[in-house]
Structure 1
Amino acid sequence: MANVKTEYLKRVLKPIHLWAIAVGLVISGEYFGWNLGWGVSGTIGFLIATLVITVMYITFIFSYTELTTAIPHAGGAFAYAYRAMGPFGGLVAGYATLIDFLFATPAIAFALGAYIHFLYPEISVLYSALFFNVVFIVINILGVKESANFSVFITLLAVAELLLFMGIVSPHFKMSNFVSHPMPFGYSGIFAALPYAVWFYLAIEGVAMVAEEVKEPKRNIPKGYISGLATLIFLALGVMILTGGISDWRKLSGLDYPLPEAINIALGKGNNLTKIFASIGLFGLIASFHGTILASSRQVFAMARSGYMPRFLSNINHKFKTPHWAIISGGVISFIALYTGTTNQIVVISVMGAVLMYMMSMISLFILRVKEPNLERPFASPFYPVFPFVALIISAVTLFAIIYFNFILSIYFFVGLAGVSVVFVLMGKHKIKLVEDFMVAPINL
């Protein structure tokens, strides 16, 4: 067995922090990205896709919480899959999770840049995105409690703004606009829209990445997940439906700033409220940007601590007690993605990582139920095995849809996984058994 020196993170997070992290991680999905789904499915087609994905997330989160509370490890799905399926299972789940969060970060950075550009056209989208990258790397290095308190503040502002948005545009909603060109691509459009519907909820699973930093995780993690998901379902459906009824939805389907433009259409060009909304709209994007950096760095930290990535990435800053090298490395990946990709491409790659990770997590849950029936499960998945099975099937269908409609990007994704697997074997990592807390079942003497 590998003799792993385990370093631990501070337990400082409470349920309000978890709610803020859960909602904050995701809430940018209500501000941009989802509207790209209209372009491939129409409003009704996308509504159907969103309802399917909402069912997937309800069943997934209730099932995933069983794993998170039973195995509160910063590696999240990586740790669950390792414990259930061994080194290769951990590798696949860890790779998928890294792609999920590391690519969500630059996608949100692009949207931040687009909002700034909407307000001040002379400012470059790219340079704004790079600036936000640097600022929030520094904030995350300064400390998890400090960054979590910031999450609470910024997430509350973001939720309040979305409620304000719904209040402003609802008097201008017309059902005739929403049902105009409802499914221009037929039923195939529903499948093409699935990855964009995932963007409404993608990254909520990131709460698992801070499990080692939660006070009383077995009691508090379910509270954070369930309250966060309920908030997001309400906001996602409200924003999507109301925005679709403001005008011809095709005017908004390709923008990185659909909400300010929707207010612009509703209230008229040049209305001061439009720019005010766009200004405070940055809060929602900042909340998710901050949260994805937090979650991705914990994934890098956990995998490096386990020897699946360079060991120095698991070093913890002695002053701030945060994994500073893991945070910085994620920033480097984000910089590269910003220079080489588009928002649409980065969103699709991030979603691909997410749904593969969901599949690996649900498979891990089924295996652990058989392999370790006596594992302490403070929160058991309700309606087992129906909930995890539904989550697994919808995730698999979504992954197939992404591959079918984005074949070239899918090749890049799976070539990357194959390359990582080859290096993993050549280094002999598949033969090394980990002895970290929660990574293996305890030995009953």
Structure 2
Amino acid sequence: MPWRRRIVIFIGAAVESLLGINGPLVYLIFYALFIGIHLAGVGEALKVMMVISGLAVFAILATAVALIGDFDAANLFDIAPTDAAGASTFMPFGWYGVWAALPFGMWLFLAVEGVPLAAEEAKDPARDMPKGIIGAMLFLLFTALLVVVLLAGAAGAEMIGQSGVPLVDALNAAGNPTLATVVNVLGLAGLIASFFSIIYGYSRLVFALSRAGYLPKALSLTSGRKVPYLALIVPGVFGFLVSLSGEGDLMLGMAVVGATISYALMALSHILLRVKQPDLLRPYKTPGGVVTSGIALVLSLVALTGVYAFDPRAFNYTIVLFIVGAAYFFLYSKNHLVAKTAEEEFALVVASPEELDDSDSDPAVTTAKL
């Protein structure tokens, strides 16, 4: 998944700012260390993630407190307007700039959709998942406003736009070098938290797709600690190899293409389910119903085109990957699915790992046993 590759490149930039070192060895160390923690077990991984996330939140709040006295609204508009259509002091790059900036705006919230992947570990998914997702979105909105508005207002939008470590650079510009060093360490913790959660998310996604037959069955094998070890290791190896390119912005664009396509498909699926199965049991109902999902569908498609405006390569490369995946599905995995219906998919979710490990490799036999 491109977003984890982008995160590890950001981590490299933070380590370079702090220790003066960067490159493939840094990427390898972080991949090996945190995949190793995940291999130790779900509980251990989530506990570490909570501690790291708490440190990252503290870094943002500490930065906000330190910079609030230096905030000047004029600094938000210190970028000289260009000759683009609609350009002004408020929008220096015009409407094209807004369009091309959408991928970066989405990056502030990217991977929050990974929260539902913890459904199998939740005691009451119908109650806990909506609360977790909504709470995460509200908190991300709050911290995003702090980072985007306060940093630019204190240090200048132009300077922050060029920064690889914006919290640190904003504090240095405001004359807080000691706090900048502390926040650099804690900011690294924030990147690690994102990296950590994305490792968890991709492993559970690969595990679920493998278990249902969409990916090779070996990827759903679990260890004695009930950890999908190959679903952790194999994508991690691919992620590390791609991170060697150093193309962080390209990875960001590719991540947003994948995310926006998935968001659009989820919104469309919600609409179709509401229309075709209005009486389906729904423990949680989306406020606004199909109107909300319809708006989400349109916004997802607009954001998707924004990636093309930012970097056509990111758009084209990701579409090629989707085509390869579609070819694999239609030519191979479509004929090897374990679950043929939604009911069988649910049976796979509630089945124990032992049942799955002991099942026959023949999809028909596996389905019969379920």
Normalising by structure 2, report the TM-score. 0.86
SS at match of 1:340: coil
Q: Equivalences for 1:29-428 in 2 at 5 Å?
A: 102-121=1-20, 123-181=21-79, 182-267=90-175, 271-318=177-224, 320-427=225-332
Aligned identity (percent) is 33
Q: Per chain length, whose mean CA-contact separation is higher, i.e. which structure has more relative contact order (CA < 8 Å, sep 6+)? A: 1
Of the structure 1 ranges 191-200 and 239-248, higher mean CA displacement relative to structure 2 is found in: 239-248
Return the letter of the residue paired with 2:95. Y
- Cα displacement string for residues 38-68 of structure 1 (whole angstroms, at most 9, x for unaligned residues): xxxxxxxxxxxxxxxxxxxxxxxxxxxxxxx
- Cα displacement string for residues 256-290 of structure 1 (whole angstroms, at most 9, x for unaligned residues): 2111111011116xx22221211122221111110
Contact 1:314 1:323 (C-alpha < 8 Å) held by counterparts: yes
Q: Distance in 1 between matches of 2:57 and 2:73?
A: 25
Contact 1:113 1:127 (C-alpha < 8 Å) held by counterparts: no
Return the letter of the residue paired with 2:3. A
Of the structure 1 ranges 320-329 and 249-258, higher mean CA displacement relative to structure 2 is found in: 249-258
SS at match of 1:334: helix
Task: Report the aligned-residue RMSD.
Answer: 1.9
Query: Aligned residues, how many?
Result: 337
SS at match of 2:155: coil
Contact 2:78 2:158 (C-alpha < 8 Å) held by counterparts: no
Q: Distance in 1 between matches of 2:22 and 2:131?
A: 41
When residues 441 and 290 of structure 1 are mapped into structure 2, their CA distance, relative to the original with a 3 A threshold, is: closer
Return the letter of the residue paired with 1:149. K
Normalising by structure 1, report the TM-score. 0.72
* Cα shift at 1:362: 0.6
Q: Distance in 1 between matches of 2:343 and 2:69?
A: 52
Q: Distance in 1 between matches of 2:344 and 2:311?
A: 35
Contact 1:192 1:401 (C-alpha < 8 Å) held by counterparts: yes
- Cα displacement string for residues 163-186 of structure 1 (whole angstroms, at most 9, x for unaligned residues): 111001111111111122242211
Return the letter of the residue paired with 1:150. V
Task: Give structure 2 stretches of 5+ with no counterpart.
Answer: 80-89, 348-370
Contact 1:110 1:338 (C-alpha < 8 Å) held by counterparts: yes
* Cα shift at 1:342: 1.1
Q: Distance in 2 between matches of 1:125 and 1:252?
A: 23
Match of 2:363 in 1: none
Match of 1:95 in 2: none
Task: Give structure 1 stretches of 5+ with no counterpart.
Answer: 1-101
